Structure 1
Amino acid sequence: MDFDLTWLLWGLPLAFGLGWLASRLDLRQLRIENRLAPKAYFRGLNFLLNEQQDQAIDAFIEAVQSDPDTSELHFALGNLFRRRGEYERAVRVHEHLLSRADLSRADRHRAQHALALDYLRAGLLDRAEEALRKLEGTAFEEQALLALLAIYERSRDWQLASEIARKLDAAGSGGQFAGRLAHYLCEQAAGATPAEAEQLLQKAMKIAPRSARPRIDLAALRRRAGDARGAFELLTELAGASPPALPLMAKALTEAAIASGRQDDARGLLRASYEQSPSLDVLDAIAALETDPEAARNNYVQHLKREPSLVAAAKWIAGEKLEHQQFHPDVQRALDHAVKPLTRYRCAACGFEAKQHFWQCPGCQAWDSYPARRVEEL
């Protein structure tokens, strides 16, 4: 049978034309899809920049519906829900991502971390802990450990907090956790028996030799046990190891010195510290060691010559005989009211002020953020 070349000549252009037409249809459809999804996505970004979060959410939902396989859109939408406080919707978005079989390993870890943040912001600490534990060995491990540390500090689970702090310290995460470990031991000692507290505080001193709290707490423990001399020696050691902490322990040092008959030693130590760095608490301790009331008040006069201080002036005038004695209580009450804000401690991290010194700020939960000096001295 002879082959007719005419069919070949007609068939080739026809096949070429059909192929060209199919490619044009595919390209047109692809362009339509690509045009729709980015348009909604960029519209959502524009709403975000203009702080119109409701409209941004609608735009991102539209973008996700147009291209449900794009993980970046899901991450953007989930993070936006979390920022809005819509934690249930954020959880659903990130759980949907984790349920996808085609999700890459890196994006799976990212979604797991985002889910943990959702639980954490929602206050579901048990679920957040479980989600964070799954990030061990991933690129988010350090962030997860820091979040776990915050959870255990918040729940006052000092043993688990110590475990996480040791991991972070061993990993060389850029922070020094010896001080925190010492604080955790001091917190445990506060609720322990005297014998157990002694051991915990001794351990804390070894972990952080320059930390003030273990020695101050141990000195208070020995003072309650009737060992005033041992308490005085501990505080003297601390004054040498960490001079800036002396204002925090000046009152305890004075009481231990009086109880153990070491007033002269305490007076010399306090005066040397005051000459190097004047402090109101050290000044009060020096005045408390004076047997003569006039000599005690004279210390405040000398301080006023050195630097202006409303607190020192109020303490000096408390023992001064005014010309009109009937007005003295009113004047003193006004001065005491004026100096109250000046005698507070202020957190260096968040500015939270308190009447007493805290090792951990009640406002921002930062450790060792309170200077040893009063507001007037800052």
Structure 2
Amino acid sequence: MPEFDWTWLLLGLPLTFALGWLASRIDLRQWQRTDRQAPRAYFKGLNLLLAEQPDKAIDAFIEAVQADPDTSELHFTLGNLFRRRGEFERAVRVHEHLLQRADLAEADRQRAQHALAQDYMKAGLFDRAEEAFRALEGSPFETESRLALLGLHERSRDWRAAADIAQLLEKSGTGSFAQRISHYQCELALQADERGEHDGAAAALERALETAPQSARPWVLQAQRQLRLGQAAAALDAWTELRQRNPEAFARLAADYVACAQAAGQTEAARQTLAALYERHPSLDLLRALAPLEGQLPGLSPRLLTLLRQEPSLGAVMTLLDLPFDDARAAWNEPLREAVRNALVDTARPLQRYRCAACGFESQRHFWQCPGCLSWDSFPNRRLDES
């Protein structure tokens, strides 16, 4: 057996050490060079963003991306900046480039998909946006995507799809969407009636009532629809349900209720109903609906003076001014004059202000220098109610 020559070992050790040291120096220099280039451009972009110079910030981030094309965070920052500036095509290209990378982590891939969907949404490419948002089902962005889809369906008036998405959101615990689903069903009922599909309209209204029985709109549509079909008694039942469930909405639509009661031959019952409701919840709409049933003009109703004192409004004053001249002169007296004056003062007070043209600061006093933004001569010479 030949003896091992220790001379080679003594020669090899220094050589191996020298080669390792040389390799480490080369890697270190390369890392230092990359580290100097990318962070410098990155921090330069951040500083420019803080200085509210987005154009220069974008140039800096582009430089950083070119120095380190594998950094996904820089791509996200750049894409978001493009979108904020309205350069949607460039934002789309950035996010599509991210999605094409095979080495992208799944979390970043989903994030890029969500950003791409937002790009399409902002650009008005709603078909592509819908497709991109649907691709995020089952991802951490699922809820945000469904909310965006809900807005898209409302915009395109696709009420059936909107109702489906709203139900998914409610089942996932995002919140209550009963009111919105009820409105979607009402819209579907109106569309069905326009097409002459009366059974479909009735079914949609039933679903709306089941979904949100306290909502006013389904009962109003039900009453109006029944009256059009010549079923005045059924329409009155719907109005009664609305009055019990939502008195404020009923008061606003009291004139429609009166027309329905007159068609059903229930004028006196309607007068008693409105009079009782007015005692509990006085309002101008109720007064205007009730006065003709009592054989008088709204402006001559003895309730008007009390209403002006309790709830002063320009609408109540206009009811008085709508009277024929002779009737108005006969009704005019000192208590009514005082009530009208107080109503005008209360309603005009918020408009008797000066508003800064630079920042919108409002004040009852005129300032040469705005206390809000310190602009000089930014207060006009006229108050809001004079301009």
TM-score, normalised relative to structure 2: 0.78
> Residues 324 and 105 (structure 1 numbering): CA distance in 2 closer, same or farther, change over 3 Å?
closer
Native 8 Å contact 2:298 2:319 kept in 1: no
1:138 aligned counterpart, secondary structure: coil
Counterparts in 2 of 1:13 and 1:166: CA distance versus 1, 3 Å: same
1:299 pairs with 2:303: yes
The change in CA–CA distance for 1:212 and 1:102 in structure 2 (over 3 A counts) is same
Within the alignment, does 1:284 sit opposite 2:305 as a pair?
no
- In the TM superposition, 1:92-131 aligns within 5 A as 92-131=93-132
Alignment check: 8 A CA contact 2:292 2:298 kept: no
Give the number of equivalent residue pairs: 329
Q: Per-residue CA shift, 1:256-310, capped at 9, x if unaligned?
A: 1222233343334333433433322222222232213488532222211323222
2:302 alignment partner, SS class: helix
Please point out which of 208, 213, 225 is paired with 1:204. Answer: 208
Describe the SS at the equivalent of 2:151. Answer: helix
- For 1:133, the equivalent position in structure 2 comes to 134
Equivalent-residue separation in structure 1 for 2:266 and 2:285 (angstroms): 19
Q: SS of 2:301's equivalent?
A: helix
Partners of 1:165 and 1:109 lie apart in 2 by 23
1-structure distance, mates of 2:307, 2:240: 24
Candidates 244, 248, 254, aligned match of 2:248: 244
RMSD in angstroms over aligned alpha carbons? 2.7
Equivalent pairs: percent with the same residue?
A: 54
TM-score, scaled to structure 1: 0.79
Distance in 1 between residues matched to 2:97 and 2:168, nearest whole Å: 32
Task: Tell me the secondary structure at the aligned position of residue 162 of structure 1.
Answer: helix
Contact 1:246 1:282 in 2 (8 A): no
Assess if the C-alpha contact under 8 Å between 1:290 and 1:296 holds in 2: no
1-structure distance, mates of 2:296, 2:158: 49
Change (3 A) 1:289 1:322: closer
- Given that 1:40 and 1:59 are in contact with CA atoms closer than 8 Å, whether structure 2 keeps it comes out as yes
Q: Which runs of 5+ in 1 are unaligned?
A: 326-334, 343-378
Q: State the AA in 2 paired with 1:189.
A: A
Partner residue, 2:237: 233
Flag the 1:28–1:61 CA change in 2: closer, same or farther, 3 A. same
Cα separation, 1, equivalents of 2:273 and 2:25: 91
- The residue aligned with 1:53 is 54
Distance of 1:89 and 1:317 partners within structure 2: 60
Query: Is the 1:235–1:249 contact (alpha carbons within 8 Å) kept by the matching residues of 2?
Result: no
Cα–Cα, structure 1 residues 294 and 136, in superposed 2: closer, same or farther, change >3 Å?
closer
Q: Is the 8 Å Cα contact of residues 288 and 298 (structure 2) preserved in structure 1? A: no
- Tell me the secondary structure at the aligned position of residue 113 of structure 2: helix
Name the counterpart of 1:365.
none
Counterpart selection for 1:257 from 255, 261, 264: 261
Mapped to 2, the partners of 1:148 and 1:242 lie a distance apart of 31
Task: State the secondary structure of the residue aligned to 1:117.
Answer: helix
CA distance in 2, matches of 1:171, 1:12: 66
Alignment CA distance shift 1:272-1:67 (3 Å): farther
Distance, in Å, in 1 between the alignment partners of 2:231 and 2:3 is 122
Decide whether aligned partners of structure 1 residues 52 and 233 sit closer, same or farther in structure 2, where only a CA change above 3 A counts.
same
